[in-house]
Structure 1
Amino acid sequence: MKYLILNNLKLLFGLLSIAIILHLFQAFEWIHIPHDALFLLRWSTVLLMCTYALFRKQLTTWIFVSMILGICIGYDFPLLGNELNILSKIFIKMIKTIIAPLLFGTLVVGIAGHSNLRQVGRLGWKSLVYFEIVTTIALIIGLVAINYSKAGVGIPSFHSDEKLPEVAKAMGWKDIVLHTFPENFIKSISEGQILQIVVFCILFAVSLLLIKGPKRKPILDFADSLSHTMFSFTNLVMYFSPFAVGGALAYTVSNMGLGVLANLLQLLGTLYVGLLVLVFGVFLPLAWFSGVRIRRFLRYVSEPLSIAFGTASSEAALPIAMENMEKYGVSREVVSFVLPTGLSFNLDGTTLYLSMASIFVAQAAGIQLSIGQQITMMLTLMLTSKGVAGVARASLVILAGMASSFGLPDWPIAAILGIDALMDMARTAVNTLGNCLATVIVGKWENEVDETRED
């Protein structure tokens, strides 16, 4: 039985493809298929895939199959799917307990363990230059895509009972700088302020680096042991990730249904096309010209991407992304600096979405923004998207604040809120992909990548 299943992978995915095609034909009413027949086909395919995953014993396979299982549970058993959201909440809570000690251990060892302050400075400015260039390109792609598709034009206004996120106070450059520095390290940990945690850890590591002699060694050894322990902790938590991803998708589908795509399909399609343009038009050429071994890179980034897409959380994917980038061959000091910093400064998918969603709101309200106003909006987004890093549902908070600043109504945001989960999964996956690529590229600039390293 095991041999039969493992050696018929093409047949298995062929059956999955047939199931998807028949469901699409039924959805568009091109053919009529009895509901019971579709139900039987759907769950027969899921059962075979679950059996394959059981024998395969590979985490990435388990995550992929759990995504399909979660969608089916949410669609066929919405009451059960609604309850499974607790699995993703448990997973994200466990991940959040990992982040602060993991960052502390890796950053302290990466900076204080190499006695090279110049390298820290080089990493800092090279990373920030890369982040700003790529996020600016992402913003431009978003503006061009939404102006071309005009997804918001012609949408009738409506009153929504959806509770919008609290509008964030407009942040000037002084507020953004102040927000970067922690007033209390424990408070920063409890609030999940990643950038503040990174700043504290860097300052702590530099301070430790300035201490000469044997007094530095105990703390350095502790940080090294802590980082290894947290990577081991991460491996344990990752075994729960298939349940979390499946539960998250079951909850999303059970609450919104598959038909949610019909209302705002054009906006959703515009976002996905824009993200694909970013990936294939920007990321792929960058990887190619930087000499990244693309197949090897994709092998190590697939697991973090699956987690990011399923949970819609960059934080959830951070620990395994850090571990896998080290396995790829990037040095620990580069990984521990670039990836966490990118979580605040290099949200490529989110910045593309924000530029697109802001213009969508204006289009839906019937407001024609000039090129100058759109550029002003883009420059504002470049600042505010970094100023609320670590805030729950930050994208909607920024969008609500942007609408308020430019005198736009909030009812189009309520419409976006209905499909935000579907958009959030895609933009979060692109955020993770962009940060992993940035880590490899900056590592290559520093000659800190060994792509011949074996697992």
Structure 2
Amino acid sequence: MGKRLTLYIVIAMFVGIATGYALNVSYPAGDKRLADIADLLKLLPEVFLHLIKMIIAPLILATLVTGIASMGDSTALGRIGGRALAWFITASLISISLGLVLVNLFQPGVGLNITSATPVGDLATADFTIRHFVLEVFPTSALDAMAKNNVLQVLVFSVFAGVGLSAMGEEGAPLVRGAEALATLMLTITDYVMRFAPFAVFGALSSVIATRGVGIIVTYGVFAGEFYIALMLLWVILMGFAAVFLGGKRVLLLARYIREPLLLAFSTASSESALPKLFEQLDRFGVPRRISGFVLPLGYSFNLDGSMIYTSFATLFIAQAYNIQLSAGQQIAMLLTLMVTSKGIAGVPRASLVVIAATLTQFGLPVEGVALLLGVDTFLDMGRAATNVVGNAVATSVITKWEGMLQPPMDPDASEALPPHDTPEHGRRGLNLDPEA
């Protein structure tokens, strides 16, 4: 479905551009009939956005509860988990901060001058205060937070629930399995919702181009190019940090070992699709499965560097497109929010749109601005999926070295079978730290 969906989105993009151009030249500027047609076309992306918002709270709840509850409570697991989370938090701050800095430097959305029918919320226009932010984090009711799609409050509840289930042990196992099933269900629903994406792309592009002309396409190209520059800079930073821990030669080897999962993630626009191959290549690189079997699944919930830099870059792009000025304090508040909300991103295509929509809602920014991203999101998703693979490969290798457990590498091109206890599927969900596991 992934490749076909990408093809359908590309087709919808070109059809939407052609339709929008035909409408733009067929009606004079300011014609009410053109406005009515454009408004009707906007219905398609609006329906899509409603469906996306429907997924937000349960997806984040299930993903985080499952990830935290599965961490276990052994000493070794706690130490490795603590080091992993420390790395993830550092990488998150770097990724999101880099996105904010570069989007302010490049300013790809300036000049679009898009107007919104939705009023901007208080948080986006009022002065940021620590008191306001802190009180917004903690829920008074989990159900109320879910109903209002208040992502930060859902996250706080999810952390308490995950830690509590981990402490309960076997008594909490049925609820953990229920959370895993809910996560699977929400990803399945996400797959269904994404099948409507080509129609949303068609409606979004044709509506925008019908009213604003084809000149907006140049802005899309500039936006995509500047985002890939940001990704390349992030790769350099991540590999630079890895070189400090692993050494220059070993980093070059790591880049060689992960080339196949990286290309797989890029071509499918899904970092999840590369996970089995990434396990295998890290085995060959010298990472014991008892480390990768814990750190990689944790990283796929907490350490999606490409997705995180995209959320900050795209959110500020939308604010710029709608001529909404955000102060430095408000951008720092957004950074902190994205720092937390990005931990619920699943490693599947276009999942970042869910977090972007949630952040826009949280800050009172026009959520319909997500429609501006749909036309190029597929191409951007390819880059950020590959970046997610790089980030998690670096994190797992560094933590293994940190633990003093990095082994000599095998030939990355060798075809011999791995030992039975190191098959790529072993340990994907389990967290057994027994050296013989």
TM-score by length of 2: 0.59
The runs of 5 or more residues in structure 1 that have no matched partner are 1-66, 80-103, 161-165, 195-247
Corresponding residue pairs, total: 293
User: Which residue does 1:174 correspond to in 2?
Assistant: 156
Please tell me whether the aligned partners of residues 108 and 219 of structure 2 are also in contact (alpha carbons under 8 angstroms): no
Q: Determine the structure 2 residue equivalent to 1:185.
A: 177
Residues 293-318 of structure 1 deviation map (CA, whole Å, 9 limit, x = unaligned): 13321221011111111111121111
- Sort the Cα spacing of 1:179 and 1:302 in 2 relative to 1 into closer, same or farther, 3 A: farther
Residue by residue over 1:11-68, the C-alpha shift from the partner in whole angstroms, topping out at 9 and shown as x without a partner, is xxxxxxxxxxxxxxxxxxxxxxxxxxxxxxxxxxxxxxxxxxxxxxxxxxxxxxxx9x
Q: CA deviation at 1:361?
A: 1.3
Equivalent-residue separation in structure 1 for 2:410 and 2:377 (angstroms):
40
Aligned to 1:264: 220
Residues 76-95 of structure 1 show CA distances to partners (whole Å, capped at 9, x for unaligned) of: xx99xxxxxxxxxxxxxxxx
Deviation of the 1:174 alpha carbon: 2.3
SS in 2 for 1:420: helix
> Could you tell me how far apart the structure 1 residues matched to 2:183 and 2:160 are?
16
Q: 1:453, CA displacement in angstroms?
A: 3.5
1:439 to 396, 409, 415: 396
Distance in 1 between residues matched to 2:382 and 2:409, nearest whole Å: 32
Match of 2:235 in 1: 279
Q: TM-score, normalised by structure 1?
A: 0.57
Equivalent of 1:382 in 339, 342, 345: 339
Change (3 A) 1:407 1:128: same
Counterparts of residues 51-450 of structure 1 (less than 5 Å): 117-157=74-114, 168-172=149-153, 173-178=155-160, 180=162, 183-185=175-177, 188-189=180-181, 191-192=183-184, 262-280=218-236, 282-292=237-247, 293-389=250-346, 393-450=350-407
- d(CA) in 1 for partners of 2:360, 2:284: 43
Kindly indicate whether the alpha-carbon contact (under 8 Å) linking 1:192 and 1:390 is maintained by their aligned counterparts in 2.
no
SS at match of 2:373: helix
Superimposed CA distance per residue, residues 385-431 of structure 1 (whole angstroms, 9 cap, x where no aligned partner): 11354687431111112112222113432111211111111111101
Q: Is the 8 A contact 1:168 1:397 kept in 2?
A: no
SS at match of 2:234: helix
Corresponding letter in the other structure for 1:288: A
- Determine the C-alpha separation between the residues in 1 that align with 2:264 and 2:315: 27
- Quote the Cα distance in structure 1 between the aligned partners of 2:410 and 2:85: 27
Q: Structure 2 stretches of 5 or more lacking a match? A: 16-65, 118-146, 166-172, 187-194, 206-213, 415-437
CA drift of 1:156 comes to: 3.6
Identity of aligned residues (%): 36
How far off is 1:323 after superposition?
Answer: 1.3
Distance change in 2, residues 1:144/1:296 (3 Å): same
Q: CA RMSD in A?
A: 3.9
Could you tell me how far apart the structure 1 residues matched to 2:325 and 2:179 are? 43
SS at match of 1:367: coil
Deviation at 1:452, TM superposition (A): 3.9
Residue type at the aligned position of 1:443: T
Give the letter for the 1:192 counterpart: T
Q: For residue 285 of structure 1, report the CA deviation from its aligned partner.
A: 1.1
**Over 6 Å off, 4+ runs:** none
Paired with 2:268 and 2:218, the residues of 1 have a C-alpha distance of 23
1:186 to partner: Cα distance: 5.2
